[in-house]
Chains A and B, each alone.
Chain A
Amino acid sequence: MARRLVKCKYAQAPPLSAVRSRYVTEGTSPAGMTPGGTPGREPLELVPAPRIFHLFNDNQLFDFSSNSEDVRCKCICPPYKDHLGHIYNKNISQKDCDCLHVVEPMPVPGPDVEAYCLRCECKYEERSSVTIKVTIIIYLSILGLLLLYMVYLTLAEPILKRRLFGHSQLIQSDEDIGDHQPFANAHDVLARSRSRANVLNKVEYAQQRWKLQVQEQRKSVFDRHVVLS
């Protein structure tokens, strides 16, 4: 089986962390490929790979023998005479994927084997369980981070800001905007943050700018219905 490392790239990263992309996955060769080649790997690197690799079991990534679960030859044999329909499933190389190799024990006596096997349909299938695992883990972790950030923005941040900047200002601004959505006070914060302009504030500044942008988008989509309605 010729196998390759194929890069699976997820280009986006959660907001707070620096852009951190993780790519890994392993694809398997097309079914039509000639089997029997030596395992050739060309890791197409875009990424600091080691960081990912230690997350997962190294064996699973590099030792392909443990991956042999990932191929199967599935034969479905319809009812024949008095035999019920059967499904056979076997780990076997593509070249051997036919009824004669997979259907064991053969339910019919010798003369009928050919007739029986003609009706069976054998399919060779491959998957990459590592790809699936890594994809799901990446997906769930990004989703989790986003959810945490969302909860932080909607619940925790207003409370923190309230403490930091005192009541009066915020209550006033709340009345002004009449809007308890997240980021509602971004204008304020942006205006306020100029008073302590230093390098450290740049991150916060960028964040506030982004918030204003989102707020603007939200206004045009949900309130004014100018776009995307």
Chain B
Amino acid sequence: MESEQLFHRGYYRNSYNSITSASSDEELLDGAGVIMDFQTSEDDNLLDGDASVGTHYTMTNGGSVNSSTHLLDLLDEPIPGVGTYDDFHTIDWVREKCKDRERHRRINSKKKESAWEMTKSLYDAWSGWLVVTLTGLASGALAGLIDIAADWMTDLKEGICLSALWFNHEQCCWGSNETTFEERDKCPQWKTWAELIIGQAEGPGSYIMNYIMYIFWALSFAFLAVSLVKVFAPYACGSGIPEIKTILSGFIIRGYLGKWTLMIKTITLVLAVASGLSLGKEGPLVHVACCCGNIFSYLFPKYSTNEAKKREVLSAASAAGVSVAFGAPIGGVLFSLEEVSYYFPLKTLWRSFFAALVAAFVLRSINPFGNSRLVLFYVEYHTPWYLFELLPFILLGVFGGLWGAFFIRANIAWCRRRKSTKFGKYPVLEVIIVAAITAVIAFPNPYTRLNTSELIKELFTDCGPLESSSLCDYRNDMNASKIVDDIPDRPAGTGVYSAIWQLCLALIFKIIMTVFTFGIKVPSGLFIPSMAIGAIAGRIVGIAVEQLAYYHHDWFIFKEWCEVGADCITPGLYAMVGAAACLGGVTRMTVSLVVIVFELTGGLEYIVPLMAAVMTSKWVGDAFGREGIYEAHIRLNGYPFLDAKEEFTHTTLAADVMRPRRSDPPLAVLTQDNMTVEDIENLINETSYNGFPVIMSKESQRLVGFALRRDLTIAIESARKKQEGIVGSSRVCFAQHTPSLPAESPRPLKLRSILDMSPFTVTDHTPMEIVVDIFRKLGLRQCLVTHNGIVLGIITKKNILEHLEQLKQHVEPLAPPWHYNKKRYPPSYGPDGKPRPRLNNVQLKPIAEEREETEEEVHLLNSTTL
């Protein structure tokens, strides 16, 4: 009952939105300990009081019944909820790994006891493979569903299959016998909307009707998508890769990988792709796969209770996601390694490999494209390329790098605008407007009207005699009697020239629309539009080079290879290289990208051109700004992501970074045995720090350990409820032995079990290079700074990020002011109406400003400044 009083006193008001915490269920990313006990805790209690006050502590008191006579039980029996994390907090990798090893030892030691324990240990050992298998199965199946449904809905914009409503255009005409080239795309079963509504298939009337229906469907799909996202799962919007990168680096976003996010993302992804917006489904598929991984990891206690282990599953899941998104299993594994994962031991590599394999296998069995391949754009030519072609390939690389740099700047500027101005208040309207503009402009141009994947496929394809598109309208030499595969370079016909015009327009259109599309509140991936832009540019360059070689085959560069009648230039290859270059410019991936592209197209011979172009585009892109689009978005949102790729080259010391600063009040600390429960509660109330160093005593200041705020509140709350005789004036004892107390004093509260006895420490003279490295490699959350064994201060991950940002601003004053938004939210107020303590007195970096304005909890561990 005391606890209820506590609530009314607003004891825990600092705890941020208890709504999320109170509503933790298995769909949340973490907090498993809490989940386990949730059902057993008194629901009535949970509902007591204002829902906004501290309910999340109530739910943690279901377990641990410590009778007063067994005080020491506290040491053995963990208090439920201790060791879990709040929303928007960073996990401590080291602690999680220790926890896992301990669990492993426990299971191993019990193994010999009985057959049942043996089975349990086997299950435990296999659960890693089981969970990635399930993840692979689920993501493969979902990818198949998305592919099929998206194909069908995309074609629904044009018409419908009357004989079987569930077929898309291609499937509808599966068995039709339209034998001539002119009629190859027509079949009686497939009706365009104009045919159905006004009864004519040709003429301006039907064109206008089709136009109207196209816009109508595009708008309704976009509207449905955004409203579903808005109503059911706001976290389902966007590409998801920046957030997944952040989560994998050890951040907690509850609900981001939950059931509802999964369902809504799957459903709306189809709608978004079908609406013709300039977006792709690849990035969101990674998110979908990660949701599957997260959900399945709840079946296995090994993963559900340990955040670090769970991230291993998520790494494997993201590999499965790329595997099915591109049909590139190896590329998926490398993508996981190069781009998203933070901690990637060999074991995870194998699991990723296996997950990618299973997912690709399932997708292949579903055979969504009907070509017995995993991907739509599989090229079948194997024409050789020549050395001089490296020049245009490198030019394409330059184009890709420029596009990437331009896209990142423009898109980030636009997203910042959305984030910081009123304009961001109208997400639905924005989506509708973008969809309307896209549809209106896209329809007249056949290359933009096409589904983007289809467009890429067409651009990748080489012109054989079988092609009927205007891209292949070359002037043919009718009486050539060569076999199909080896068609010499030919002069372009009028069709090709008009196609080039249309492609140029399509290129400009795609470039502009993609900038505005990426980041709207529907699931939107970036890979496909980027590839489309590169493929268009590449195809144009390819045709240009081809014509150049045809008309000037006596130039010295062409002389050796391009004789009359030789087939020396393949424009489709240029499209492929361009696509890789543009994707590389945007994402700054290298190895995984090349592997993805050659798996995607089957062009094993073209690895060298792809590598040349991707490398060039990375260099050119890096010249304009070192970060890829995902890092840029992470920075825009201010996620606490410590990039392992960046180098730290400054000469600062740990003492320069640690909190408190010289001008700040001293560190808030706990002493190991002479504070009372009330003292600690007051300290927790007055500060917003997430952890407190524990020292021997005020006099000696020597370090004993580290206690986390969340653990403290949970433990005290639990003790107040469950243990008799714990009142405000009880001593709290972190030490091994309870100090001798006067006889009349209340019983002491032993909290040694929640004390981290081995906090990481560095001395104040440690160079920051080393500290940053420690943080990156070990995934620390905080690190204490000592001098002669005396605690001086603390460095948190956030302090490091702030420091890096500060140095960056200092060194590169011309860097774009990414925090360029004015303050819109009043400072947050503490429980007593006073503004909460600022982190420190120095000028806060933008990330801190934004966070502080909005929600203080998003901060990592705040350091102490009295």
Contacts and interface: CB of A to CB of B under 8 A. Distances in A.
Interface of A: 4, 6-13, 23, 25, 27-28, 30-32, 69-70, 72, 76, 78-79, 84-89, 91, 115, 118-119, 121, 125-129, 131-133, 135-139, 142-143, 146-147, 150, 153-154, 182, 187, 190-191, 193-194, 197, 202, 205-206, 209-210, 212-218, 220-229
B180 A86 contact: yes
Nearest to B258: A213
B180 A191 contact: no
Given A30-B372, A227-B253, A218 B141 contact: no
A91 B419 CA distance: 56
Interface residues of B, number: 95
A227 B243 contact: yes
A127 B418 contact: no
A85 B180 contact: yes
B255 A217 contact: yes
A217 B180 contact: no
Contact of B50 (A76, A131, A191): A191
A8 B364 CA distance: 11
Contacts of A91: 175
B13 interface: no
Q: Which 3 A-B pairs have the closest CB atoms?
A: A194-B47, A12-B263, A78-B465
Interface in B114-130: none
A156 B362 CA distance: 41
B228 A146 contact: yes
A10 to B, nearest CB: 6
Contacts of B372: 30-32, 125-126
Contacts of A28: 367
Given A27-B365, A150-B228, A221-B234, A136 B149 contact: yes
B164 A133 contact: yes
Nearest to A206: B25
Contacts of B238: 228
Given A142-B267, A227-B253, A229-B415, A10 B142 contact: yes
Contacts of A11: 138, 141-142, 262, 292, 295
B470 interface: no
Given A118-B484, A190-B51, A209 B25 contact: yes
A193 B174 contact: no
A205 B43 contact: yes
Nearest to A127: B370
Contacts of A182: 231
Contacts of A217: 233-235, 255
A128 B51 CA distance: 52
Nearest to A25: B366
5 contacts: A4-B365, A118-B483, A147-B224, A214-B260, A216-B19
Given A135-B145, A229-B418, A6 B48 contact: no
B680 to A, nearest CB: 29
Nearest to A27: B365
Contacts, number: 232
Given A121-B466, A222-B230, A127 B174 contact: yes
Contacts of B370: 125-127
A10 B146 CA distance: 10
Nearest to B364: A30
A128 B370 CA distance: 8
A115 B176 CA distance: 26
A7 B141 contact: yes
Contacts of B233: 214, 217
A229 B519 CA distance: 7
A209 B637 contact: no
Contacts of A125: 370-372
B178 interface: yes
B47 A197 contact: yes
B460 interface: no
Nearest to B262: A12
Interface string B126-154: 00000000000110011011001100100
Given A9-B137, A191-B47, 10 more contacts: A7-B141, A12-B263, A86-B179, A86-B181, A87-B180, A147-B224, A150-B227, A194-B44, A222-B521, A226-B854
A136 B152 contact: yes
Interface in B237-253: 237-238, 243, 253
B303 to A, nearest CB: 17
B854 A131 contact: no
Interface in B170-187: 171, 174-181, 184
A132 B424 CA distance: 39
Contacts of B292: 11
B427 interface: yes
Contact of A229 (B165, B171, B231, B636): B636
A187 B52 CA distance: 9
A138 B145 contact: yes
Contact of B174 (A13, A69, A143, A154): A69
Contacts of A30: 364, 372
Contacts of A119: 465, 483-484
Nearest to A33: B372
Interface string B507-550: 00000000000010100000000000000000000000000000
A121 B174 contact: no
B232 interface: yes
B266 interface: yes
Contact of A8 (B144, B465, B637): B144
Question: In the complex, which of the residues A72, A127, A191, A197 has the most CB atoms of chain B within 10 Å of its own CB atom?
Answer: A127
Contacts of B637: 226-229
B274 to A, nearest CB: 11
Contacts of A135: 144-145, 148-149, 166
Contact of A72 (B174, B364, B636): B174
B144 A221 contact: no
Interface in B433-481: 464-466, 478, 481
A84 B181 contact: yes
B855 A226 contact: yes
B270 interface: yes
A146 B235 contact: no
B23 interface: yes
B17 interface: yes
B701 interface: no
B429 to A, nearest CB: 12
A117 B855 CA distance: 71
B419 A229 contact: yes
A182 to B, nearest CB: 6
B86 to A, nearest CB: 13
B43 A197 contact: yes
Interface in B340-395: 362, 364-367, 370-372
A197 to B, nearest CB: 5
Question: In the complex, which of the residues A86, A139, A193 has the most CB atoms of chain B within 10 Å of its own CB atom?
Answer: A139
A179 B295 CA distance: 32
Nearest to B821: A225
Contacts of A221: 234-235, 237, 521
Given A146-B267, A218-B234, A229-B418, A127 B47 contact: no
B224 A222 contact: no
A29 B521 CA distance: 39
A136 B464 CA distance: 34
A221 B230 CA distance: 9
B754 to A, nearest CB: 27
Interface in B482-502: 483-484
B345 to A, nearest CB: 28
B478 A79 contact: yes
Question: In the complex, which of the residues A85, A137, A229 has the most CB atoms of chain B within 10 Å of its own CB atom?
Answer: A229
A111 to B, nearest CB: 14
B224 A139 contact: no
A113 B50 CA distance: 86
B141 A222 contact: no
A63 B295 CA distance: 36
